[in-house]
A and B are shown apart, each in its own frame.
Chain A
Amino acid sequence: MTSPTTRAEIEHLFQMRTKAWNSRDPGGLAATHAVDGRVSSPIFGKVAGRPAIEQSYRDLFKRFADWTLEGEPLIVDGQRVAQVFQVHATHTSEFYGLAATGRRFTLQGLLMFEMAAGKIAVEKRIYDFSGLVVQLGLIKARTD
């Protein structure tokens, strides 16, 4: 049985994530997930395993080349972690069949994590995905 990840270790891991987010480094971000880690994402659905998670980050930075994520201070409760985030980005490549529009968007949401053996075992992302889709013009919202 592995020992629980300490708060200091969690802080360190998330500092690595911040660096990887800032340099848009899929490998660096994927390295913070367990080999058998799972991600639940409105954009990517359920993603299982580090290679698939890395590919999802790669796809993210292709579609939104200037993706900038700002995370608020962590809420750490044992092996569970929550972090409010804001994203600013531009739609720079095909997304759900929609060619790059050059549209800018912002997004606020919550990331929830479960840690195991010093890595992220489970990540759940919560945000206004439909709002993102509308901001990109993938669907047009009308009220008539």
Chain B
Amino acid sequence: MTRDEAVALVALREDAFRRADAHGLAATYTEDAVMLSPMFGTVTGRAAIEASHRRLFTVFKDMVIKTDPLIFEADRGAQSWVGHATHTSEIFGVPASGRPFEIRGAFVFEFRDGLIAHERRLYDFTGLLLQLGILKAKPQ
């Protein structure tokens, strides 16, 4: 995969993300792709990845992600991002709280056949749970 092809692929993802288009996002993964997510765990296969995005856009209806330029080399890539959203539906047994949050993180990609074959999501997941009130901080 060339750098230009990788940049075009992540641009497609960003466009699909803006439209909360789970199917469009899933189309950027290989059929047997693996996604490692703090929120969804290990998700295997394009269909399951599409379902995880559908769930994401239900739980956080107004999710907006602003990405930084892709760092790409030899079928591997990394991209940092900032996300904003509101908690609009049940997650981890906690009903919609209406709480807004901001989170910073990164995607780490491995590409194959012009698509994403492996993706790791790295971010302050515990901080997200604290912002949503799913976990509550209790100082020592």
A-side interface residues toward B, CB under 8 Å? 42, 74-77, 80-82, 84, 98, 108-110, 112, 124, 126-131, 133-134, 137-144
> Chain A at the B interface: mostly helix, strand, loop or mixed?
strand
**CB–CB B80/A126 < 8 A:** yes
Residues of A within 8 A of B70 (CB): 77
A82 engages B140 (CB within 8 Å): no
Give complex CA distance A97, B53 in Å: 40
Besides A98-B140, A128-B125, A139-B139, 7 other A-B contacts (C-beta < 8 A): A76-B73, A77-B70, A84-B120, A124-B80, A126-B123, A127-B124, A141-B137
Interface assignment of B3: CB less than 8 Å from any CB of chain A: yes
The answer to the question of B48 belonging to the interface, with a C-beta cut-off of 8 Å to chain A, is: no
Q: Give A51 to B56 CA distance when docked, in angstroms.
A: 43
Q: Pick the contact of A140: B3, B125, B137 (CB < 8 A).
A: B137
* Chain A hits for B17, CB < 8 A: none
List, in ascending order, chain A residues with CB within 8 A of B126's CB: 128-131, 133-134, 141
A130: chain B residues within 8 A (beta carbon): 124-127, 129-130
Query: Residue of A at shortest CB range from B138?
Result: A140
In the docked arrangement, what's the CA distance between A130 and B137, Å? 10
**B71 contacts the other chain (Cβ, under 8 Å)?**
yes
B124 touches A131 (CB 8 A): yes
Judge if B117 is at the interface, Cβ distance under 8 Å.
no
What 3 A-B pairs are tightest by C-beta distance, nearest first? Answer: A82-B78, A130-B126, A130-B127
Q: A131-B126, A141-B130 are in contact. Are A112 and B137 (CB under 8 A)?
A: no
**How far, in angstroms, from A140 to B105 measured CA to CA in the complex?**
23
A-B contact pairs, 22 of them (CB 8 A): A42-B124, A75-B72, A77-B3, A77-B71, A82-B78, A84-B108, A98-B140, A110-B122, A126-B104, A126-B105, A126-B122, A127-B122, A127-B124, A128-B125, A129-B126, A130-B126, A130-B130, A134-B135, A140-B139, A141-B126, A141-B137, A142-B135
Task: Look across to chain A and name the residue whose beta carbon is closest to the beta carbon of B105.
Answer: A126
In the assembled complex, the CB of A15 is this many whole angstroms from the nearest CB of chain B, namely 17
Of B69, B124, B127, most buried by chain A (CB within 10 Å of CB) is B124
Which residues from A are CB-within-8-Å of B47? none
Selected contact of A112 from candidates B76, B106, B125, CB within 8 Å: B106
**Bound complex: CA A108 to CA B108 (Å):** 12
Q: Which residues 18-47 in B have Cβ within 8 Å of A in the complex? A: 38
Contacts of B135 in A (CB 8 A): 134, 141-143
When the two chains form their complex, are residues A137 and B140 in contact, meaning their CB atoms are under 8 A apart? Answer: yes
Residues of B within 8 A of A98 (CB): 140
